[in-house]
Amino acid sequence: MYTLYGTKSTRAFRAIWMLEELGQPYDHHKDAPRSDTVRTLNPSGKVPVLVDGDTVIPDSTAILTYLADKHGMLTHPAGTPARARQDALMFCLLDEVEGLVWAAARHSFILPPEHRLPAIKDSLKWEFEQNTARISNRIEGAFLMGVTMTIADILCAHLTMWAAQAKFPAPPQALTDHMTRMQARPAFQRALAT
């Protein structure tokens, strides 16, 4: 049985959604970031953290990749060209979208007030528009990679939701439509209800 730490309002949502897609049982500990328990598992205090037996895995992308590989679902097999394209998509989303919404959050309420630069947000939002225009052109079908759903779809839909909550400009319609399709999935709805 897996144990997952982190509330659904954080990147832990990605891992909850993934576990629901896989139909795997898990204990969910709704710890806030930096709780004493989380700090013992992950010295940075960041969530999510997944525990599988003696193995402790921090980082939402590492967790998605581990679960996908272990269960052979929502991923192309490691060592294949399709997997290389999937990984490239994941890293692109992290670099070009997550980096922007996370920087905006840090400069809004995470960093100590004296280190926040609110003016940076206009620049981040401009970059978001450039980057999402390119990324939306990479959607190949119902899913980012055509007919096969992968963990890149979970990451992408979560980032589109996060950007909207953070009041970033609306992304191209293709990305919004992708998010809407992902949100209609029963596993997404179950994750939302946790």
Which positions touch ligand GSH (CB under 6 A)?
Answer: 10-11, 33-34, 45-48, 59-61
Tell me how far, at minimum, the Cβ of 169 lies from ligand GSH, in Å: 22
Quickly list H helices, the chain: 12-22, 36-41, 60-71, 81-93, 99-105, 120-136, 151-165, 173-183, 186-192
Tell me how far, at minimum, the Cβ of 93 lies from ligand GSH, in Å: 11
Tell me how far, at minimum, the Cβ of 29 lies from ligand GSH, in Å: 14
37 or 80: CB nearest ligand GSH: 37
47 or 157: CB nearest ligand GSH: 47
Query: How many CA within 13 A on the CB side of residue 122?
Result: 1
102 or 187: CB nearest ligand GSH: 102
Nearest residue to the partner ligand GSH, using Cβ = 33
Tell me how far, at minimum, the Cβ of 146 lies from ligand GSH, in Å: 25
Alpha-carbon Rg for the chain in angstroms? 17
First to last CA, the chain: 17
